[in-house]
Structure 1
Amino acid sequence: MRFIDRVRIQVRAGDGGDGAVAWRREAHVPKGGPAGGDGGDGGDVVLVADAQLATLLDLKYRQHHHAPSGRPGGGAGKNGRGGETLEVHVPLGTAVYYEGEATGHGERPPWLDDETPDETPEGISVEPDGEGMDNVWIVDGEEVEAPGQAGEPAEAEADPERVELIELGAPAEVVAIGETISGGAQRRHMRRGTGRSRRREEPRSYERGDLICDLDADGERLTIARGGRGGRGNVHFRSSTNRAPDRAEAGTEGEGMWLRLELKLLADVGIVGYPNVGKSTLISAISRARPEIGAYPFTTLVPQLGVVSLPGDTYERTMVVADVPGLVDGASEGRGLGHEFLRHLERTRVLLHLLAPDPTPGRELLRDLDALEGELRRYGPMFEGRPRVVALNKIDTTEGQELIKATRRALRKRNIPLFPISAVTGEGTDALLEALWRRLQLADRARGT
């Protein structure tokens, strides 16, 4: 299964149904009065955090999510059915960012507006305004030239009643008939000023790039787009001075917006290190995670999670460890796999710096450690004060054994303990895991949890 941790989607709540203009028609009841029902409310769009999901893969191939609209009101006081709520499930740790307002179907995504449009290639001429394709109207299933088109007389004029219905947003089948279910009065007196431009509530104000919400608890719900309110039928406009109101309200428009979803893994410990220091080997040795392992850099291309179990006297102790792709110099600026995966370390509570001997010229263990700390510092302030643990891997090799004493002596001057380990043989891993567990307990106490 592909690991997708960033997608852009469009969400649109349903529009509210129009209220109806109708009259009570009953035997022996003269002048029955208004009986137009209300339109149904549009359906909301709700994001739901789901612990069963591990990637945003499903949303990558389904970009548009539209909730159903409310049905229009009917006669005899019948209210239209409301649109059902549309639930969009996302993995735990999904951050929701605002990208722009979605105003209609088939519109250009807002982030494409930042791109410079391509220039017209040589040899292709663009016709000036007024030339080229003619405007064509479809009336009663036949093509008719648009009236008033420059240079040509109009062959036919569109029915004014149909044009009025189109302006009111009537469905295609209603336009074809030329009449609404409630008669001409509903068409003539539908409130235009309070129609599609009015929403159920004052729309929320976001700037592009604003963080709307972090969904990090299983079952957490966020109503991201509210459905439009159904219009009131003419029964609501009856008064002592107007016993036969012939007007109704149009339903309001549902909210719509473009979103950017970013998945940030939820883990207790994040393994940080250069490529090919044995991060994948370590997580496969201490957990049941089975990442790809190879003797070449950047074997790991997607984050891996592993659950580590430690024995306890009264209960089993567990922690989640994350292995992210190796960092390189300049990762905070996007080099290598860069900040695409640095953000997966943001939610970790403890960082494990994994060092290992490397034959590359200019590579030294302490220089590697300082470079990793520098990349984390440049990426953002969220890593300041976070507990660190330093481990030296590959002590099963001659090069690793030779580096233990010198590295431990240098780190002792910085008050940093060193844990020599071998991910291949398992030597030293038990002591390392206990040290990580103690750091997690100290972090919980510091937060008061």
Structure 2
Amino acid sequence: MQFIDRTTIKVTAGNGGNGKSAFRREKFVAKGGPSGGDGGRGADIVFVVDNNMNTLLDFRYHRKFQGKNGENGDIKNQYGHNAPPCIVKVPQGTLVKDADTGEILADLTEIGQEAVIAKGGRGGRGNAKFANSANRAPTFAELGEPGESRNLILELKLLADVGLVGYPSVGKSSLVAAVSAARPEIAEYHFTTITPVLGVVSVGDIDDERTFVMADIPGLIDGASEGVGLGHDFLRHVERTKVIVHIVDASGVEGRDPVEDYYKINKELKIYSEKIARRPQILAANKMDLPGAQENFERLKELAEKEGIEIFPISAATRQGTKELIQRVAQVLDEYVEEPDVEEGVKVYDAKEEDPDKVTITRNDAGDFIVSSKSLDKLVAMTNFGNDEAIRRFQYIWRIKGIDKKLIERGIKEGNTVRIGEMEFEYRD
């Protein structure tokens, strides 16, 4: 199965249904009043963590998700039906980002967890809602509010307890195969593992039923923190692990210095994330069954003492020392305390995050006046400009909000173009 851990998609929530402009026309009811009903709400785009998914592969072929629109209102004050939410299933460990702003919208780590990523539009109000003592027979109704649309980046971060780090061909895949039921491809060439492999490890004692998930993650190379090689594709998966098992080739059969490799790998981890670099780390000196390994192991013991970390001599090929390593890893996991997250928080949709009545006026290169306001953008989208009474209502709200005064302060002149949302018009004093 192909492993996909990053992709881009577009989601568009449903528009609200239009309100209805209607009047009671019934026998024996003279001069029936307004009776147009409201439109229904458009569909939200809701992401749900599905236990049956483990990659983002489906999104390679399905990149656009469109919520249904709410139903229009009808006569006799009949409301349109709300559209059911558009459910998008994602695997556990999916991070959802806004592709245009980089904002983190949701961090989906629990089975069944839900997050509203794009809100459906509100249904337009029917003309019955606008009747008052001053206007008992309004002829206009609102259009439905457009649903939100977002370009998204989906990233899948493995939810492993233990991450194996080290240069290519140091024996990470061999260790996973030796201590779990996972069977990663193993061969004598670099980058055999180009996608992460998860293995469930049993501690192994008769009275000990503890298990944990170990991830064999693609090998690091110099410059990975800057995206070189598999770079960020590797480091993204280390972020969620609780304990790092750092594997070095103690034999040095390929001409590599295991002590030098240790420092290079940790340098890349630290550059990418100080938080990752502070995770508990255990050093595993692999390939101890090969010539030259014992000599290098003495140097590695000095390194471990200097760095204040534990070291275990192992051979993944013969399984020498693997039981002791696994038991110690399980103990460190039991003692693990999550570091408080002080990084940028997950925001998820929050309608109160920005003041909808805030108005800003800017100029573009053509000299047009651009009026930006969430409430005005919504008003423009929901106003039927083919109805004179609706236009008068729009002009009234425009004056109430003091937009004319703000435009004059910005130096607007007769004939200048004003843009609000998708609408533009010529300014007249």
1:6-405 aligned within 5 A: 6-100=6-100, 208-311=101-204, 316-356=209-249, 357-361=251-255, 363-405=256-298
Deviation at 1:39, TM superposition (A): 0.7
Q: How many Å separate the matches in 2 of 1:367 and 1:403?
A: 11
Q: Which has the higher contact order (CA 8 A, sep 6+)?
A: 1
Change in Cα spacing, 1:368 to 1:264, as seen in structure 2 (3 Å) is same
Cα deviation digits, residues 117-142 of structure 1 (max 9, x gap): xxxxxxxxxxxxxxxxxxxxxxxxxx
Q: How many Å separate the matches in 2 of 1:269 and 1:409?
A: 24
Q: How many Å separate the matches in 2 of 1:236 and 1:418?
A: 74
**One-letter code of the match for 1:253?**
P
Deviates more, 1:333-342 or 1:36-45: 333-342
Q: How many Å separate the matches in 2 of 1:384 and 1:297?
A: 25
CA RMSD, 1 decimal: 1.8
Q: How many Å separate the matches in 1 of 2:124 and 2:264?
A: 62
Change in Cα spacing, 1:384 to 1:398, as seen in structure 2 (3 Å) is closer
Does the Cα contact within 8 Å between 2:266 and 2:277 map onto a contact in 1?
no
Cα deviation digits, residues 414-434 of structure 1 (max 9, x gap): 443321111122111110001
Change in Cα spacing, 1:429 to 1:315, as seen in structure 2 (3 Å) is closer
Q: How many Å separate the matches in 2 of 1:42 and 1:97?
A: 22
**One-letter code of the match for 2:118?**
A
**One-letter code of the match for 1:227?**
G
SS of the residue aligned with 2:244?
strand
- Provide the residue aligned with 1:408 in structure 2: 301
How many residues get paired? 339
SS of the residue aligned with 1:444?
coil
Q: How many Å separate the matches in 2 of 1:330 and 1:446?
A: 26
Q: How many Å separate the matches in 1 of 2:263 and 2:47?
A: 41
Deviation at 1:445, TM superposition (A): 8.1
Name the larger-Rg structure.
1
SS of the residue aligned with 1:376?
helix
Change in Cα spacing, 1:380 to 1:410, as seen in structure 2 (3 Å) is closer
Q: How many Å separate the matches in 2 of 1:52 and 1:59?
A: 15
- Provide the residue aligned with 2:346 in structure 1: none
Change in Cα spacing, 1:86 to 1:337, as seen in structure 2 (3 Å) is same
- Provide the residue aligned with 1:420 in structure 2: 313
Does the Cα contact within 8 Å between 2:47 and 2:117 map onto a contact in 1?
yes
Deviation at 1:217, TM superposition (A): 1.4
- Provide the residue aligned with 1:432 in structure 2: 325
Deviation at 1:413, TM superposition (A): 4.1
Change in Cα spacing, 1:60 to 1:389, as seen in structure 2 (3 Å) is same
Cα deviation digits, residues 374-402 of structure 1 (max 9, x gap): 11111121223211100111122233345
Deviation at 1:44, TM superposition (A): 0.4
TM-score, reference length from structure 2: 0.75
Runs of 5+ unmatched residues, structure 2:
341-429
Deviation at 1:371, TM superposition (A): 0.8
**One-letter code of the match for 1:249?**
E
- Structure 2 residue 334 is the aligned partner of structure 1 residue 441: yes
Q: How many Å separate the matches in 2 of 1:210 and 1:445?
A: 24
Aligned identity (percent) is 47
**One-letter code of the match for 1:394?**
K
Q: How many Å separate the matches in 1 of 2:307 and 2:275?
A: 22
Cα deviation digits, residues 86-134 of structure 1 (max 9, x gap): 111111111111123xxxxxxxxxxxxxxxxxxxxxxxxxxxxxxxxxx
TM-score, reference length from structure 1: 0.72
SS of the residue aligned with 2:301?
helix
Q: How many Å separate the matches in 1 of 2:55 and 2:202?
A: 24
SS of the residue aligned with 1:370?
helix
SS of the residue aligned with 1:212?
strand
SS of the residue aligned with 1:245?
coil
SS of the residue aligned with 2:337?
helix
Deviation at 1:11, TM superposition (A): 1.0
Q: How many Å separate the matches in 2 of 1:351 and 1:413?
A: 18
**One-letter code of the match for 1:64?**
K
Change in Cα spacing, 1:281 to 1:30, as seen in structure 2 (3 Å) is same
Cα deviation digits, residues 48-74 of structure 1 (max 9, x gap): 122321111111211111100111111
